[in-house]
A and B are shown apart, each in its own frame.
Chain A
Amino acid sequence: MVGIVSYGGYIPKRRLNRMSVIQEMGWYIPALMMVANGERAMCNWDEDSITMAVASARDCMAGFGKSSIDGLFFATTTPPFSDRQNAGVVATALNLKEDILTADFTSSQKAGTTALVAGLESLKSGDKKQVLVAASDHRKTRSASFYELWFGDGSASLLLGSDNVIAEYKGSFSMSLDFVDHYRGSSNEFDYTWEERWIRDEGYAKIIPQAINGLLKKSGLSIKDIAKVVYPCFISREHKGIAKKIGASKEQVLDNMHEETGETGAAHPLVLLASALEQSKPGDKIIVASFGQGSDALLFEVTPNITKLAPRNGIKGSLAVRKEEPSYAKFLKFNELINAETGIRAEAATQTALTTLWRNRKMILGFVGGRCTQCGTVQFPKTNVCVNPKCNAFHTQEDYEFSDKEAKVMSFTGDYLAVAVEPPVIYGMVQFEGGGRTLLDFTDCDLESVQVGHTVKLTFRKKYYDKERGFTGYFWKATIK
Chain B
Amino acid sequence: MSTGIKDKVAIIGMGCTKFGERWDAGAEDLMVEAFEEAIADAGIEKNQIQAAWLSDCFEEIHLGKSALPLSMTLRLPNIPATRVENFCASGTEAFRGAVYAVASGAYDIALALGVEKLKDIGYGGLPNSGSNSGSLNWLWMPNLTAPGAFAQLATAYAAKYKYSIDDLKRVLAHVSVKSHANGALNPKAHLRTPITEDQAISSPMVAHPLGLYDCCGVSDGAAAAIVTTPEIAKRLGKKDLVTVKALQLALSNGEEVQYNEWDSTYFVSTTKASAVAYKEAGIKDPRKELSMMELHDCFSITELITYEDMGISPRGKAPKDVLDGFYDLRGGGVPAQVDGGLKCFGHPIGASGLRMLYEMYLQLHGRADQRQLKDPKLGLTHNLGGFPFMNVVSIAIVGKEGV
Task: Point out the residues of chain A lying under 8 angstroms from B141, CB to CB.
Answer: 439
Is A428's CB within 8 Å of the partner chain B? Answer: yes
Q: Which residue of A lies closest to B149 (CB)?
A: A413
A157 CB to closest chain B CB (Å) equals 25
Q: Are A431 and B139 in contact (CB under 8 A)?
A: no
Q: Are B148 and A475 in contact (CB under 8 A)?
A: no
Q: Are B139 and A473 in contact (CB under 8 A)?
A: yes
Which residue from B128, B139, B152, B204 sits with its C-beta under 8 Å from A360?
B139
B130 CB to closest chain A CB (Å) equals 3
Is A357's CB within 8 Å of the partner chain B? Answer: yes
Q: Which residue of A lies closest to B260 (CB)?
A: A435
Is A184's CB within 8 Å of the partner chain B? Answer: no
Task: Point out the residues of chain B lying under 8 angstroms from A436, CB to CB.
Answer: 258, 260
Q: Which of B48-56, B153-161, B185-193 contacts A (4 or more CB under 8 A)?
A: B153-161
Q: Are A379 and B143 in contact (CB under 8 A)?
A: no
Task: Point out the residues of chain A lying under 8 angstroms from B209, CB to CB.
Answer: 413
Task: Point out the residues of chain A lying under 8 angstroms from B253, CB to CB.
Answer: 389
Which residue from A350, A416, A439 sits with its C-beta under 8 Å from B206?
A416
Whole-angstrom distance between the alpha carbons of A220 and B148 in the complex?
A: 65
Q: Are B258 and A387 in contact (CB under 8 A)?
A: yes
Task: Point out the residues of chain A lying under 8 angstroms from B138, CB to CB.
Answer: 352, 464, 473
Q: Which residue of A lies closest to B148 (CB)?
A: A415
Q: Which residue of A lies closest to B208 (CB)?
A: A414
Q: Which residue of B lies closest to A432 (CB)?
A: B260
Q: Are B152 and A350 in contact (CB under 8 A)?
A: no
Given contacts A348-B129, A349-B131, contact A427 B148 (CB under 8 A): yes
Task: Point out the residues of chain B lying under 8 angstroms from A411, CB to CB.
Answer: 152-153, 155-156, 264
Q: Which residue of B lies closest to A343 (CB)?
A: B123
The contact string, 1 if C-beta is below 8 Å from chain A, for chain B 203-230, is 0111111100000000000000000000
Q: Interface size on B (CB < 8 Å)? A: 48
Whole-angstrom distance between the alpha carbons of A473 and B148 in the complex?
A: 22
Interface residues of A in 41-58 (CB under 8 A from B): none
Q: Are B208 and A447 in contact (CB under 8 A)?
A: yes
Given contacts A349-B131, A437-B257, contact A344 B121 (CB under 8 A): yes
Is A100's CB within 8 Å of the partner chain B? Answer: no
Q: Are A415 and B207 in contact (CB under 8 A)?
A: yes
Q: Are B208 and A428 in contact (CB under 8 A)?
A: no
Is B255's CB within 8 Å of the partner chain A? Answer: yes
Is B145's CB within 8 Å of the partner chain A? Answer: yes
B363 CB to closest chain A CB (Å) equals 34
Task: Point out the residues of chain A lying under 8 angstroms from B332, CB to CB.
Answer: none
Q: Are A415 and B151 in contact (CB under 8 A)?
A: yes
Is A255's CB within 8 Å of the partner chain B? Answer: no
Whole-angstrom distance between the alpha carbons of A414 and B154 in the complex?
A: 12
Given contacts A387-B258, A418-B144, A439-B144, contact A348 B208 (CB under 8 A): no
Is B389's CB within 8 Å of the partner chain A? Answer: yes
A420 CB to closest chain B CB (Å) equals 8
Whole-angstrom distance between the alpha carbons of A414 and B209 in the complex?
A: 8
Q: Are A417 and B129 in contact (CB under 8 A)?
A: no
Which residue from A353, A413, A451, A452 sits with its C-beta under 8 Å from B148?
A413
Task: Point out the residues of chain B lying under 8 angstroms from A453, CB to CB.
Answer: 159
Is A441's CB within 8 Å of the partner chain B? Answer: yes
Is B105's CB within 8 Å of the partner chain A? Answer: no
A112 CB to closest chain B CB (Å) equals 30
A357 CB to closest chain B CB (Å) equals 6
Whole-angstrom distance between the alpha carbons of A387 and B151 in the complex?
A: 25
Whole-angstrom distance between the alpha carbons of A69 and B372 in the complex?
A: 74
Most chain A beta-carbon contacts within 10 A, residue among B130, B145, B254, B258: B258
Task: Point out the residues of chain A lying under 8 angstroms from B260, CB to CB.
Answer: 377, 431, 435-437
Q: Which residue of B lies closest to A356 (CB)?
A: B135
Q: Which residue of A lies closest to B215 (CB)?
A: A417
Task: Point out the residues of chain B lying under 8 angstroms from A439, CB to CB.
Answer: 141-142, 144, 257, 389
Is B237's CB within 8 Å of the partner chain A? Answer: no
Is B259's CB within 8 Å of the partner chain A? Answer: yes
Whole-angstrom distance between the alpha carbons of A425 and B207 in the complex?
A: 9
Q: Are B140 and A429 in contact (CB under 8 A)?
A: no
Whole-angstrom distance between the alpha carbons of A457 and B389 in the complex?
A: 21
Q: Which residue of B lies closest to A477 (CB)?
A: B142
A225 CB to closest chain B CB (Å) equals 52
Whole-angstrom distance between the alpha carbons of A436 and B147 in the complex?
A: 25
Whole-angstrom distance between the alpha carbons of A283 and B156 in the complex?
A: 55
Q: Are A412 and B139 in contact (CB under 8 A)?
A: no
Please list the residues of chain A having a beta carbon within 8 angstroms of any beta carbon in chain B: 343-346, 348-353, 356-357, 360, 363-364, 377, 379-381, 383, 387-389, 410-419, 424-425, 427-429, 431, 435-441, 447, 451-453, 463-464, 473, 475
Please list the residues of chain B having a beta carbon within 8 angstroms of any beta carbon in chain A: 121-125, 128-132, 135-136, 138-145, 147-149, 151-156, 158-159, 204-210, 253-255, 257-260, 263-264, 389
Since A349-B132, A350-B131 are in contact, a sample of 8 more A-B pairs with Cβ atoms closer than 8 Å, ordered by chain A residue number, is A345-B125, A352-B138, A388-B259, A412-B152, A424-B207, A436-B258, A437-B258, A439-B144
Cβ contacts A to B, 23 pairs, < 8 Å: A345-B128, A346-B128, A348-B130, A377-B260, A379-B258, A379-B259, A389-B253, A389-B259, A410-B156, A410-B264, A411-B156, A411-B264, A413-B147, A413-B152, A413-B210, A415-B148, A418-B144, A431-B260, A437-B257, A439-B141, A451-B159, A452-B155, A452-B156
Which 10 pairs across A and B sit closest by C-beta, in order of nearness?
Answer: A348-B130, A415-B148, A411-B152, A413-B151, A353-B135, A452-B159, A427-B142, A411-B156, A414-B208, A411-B264
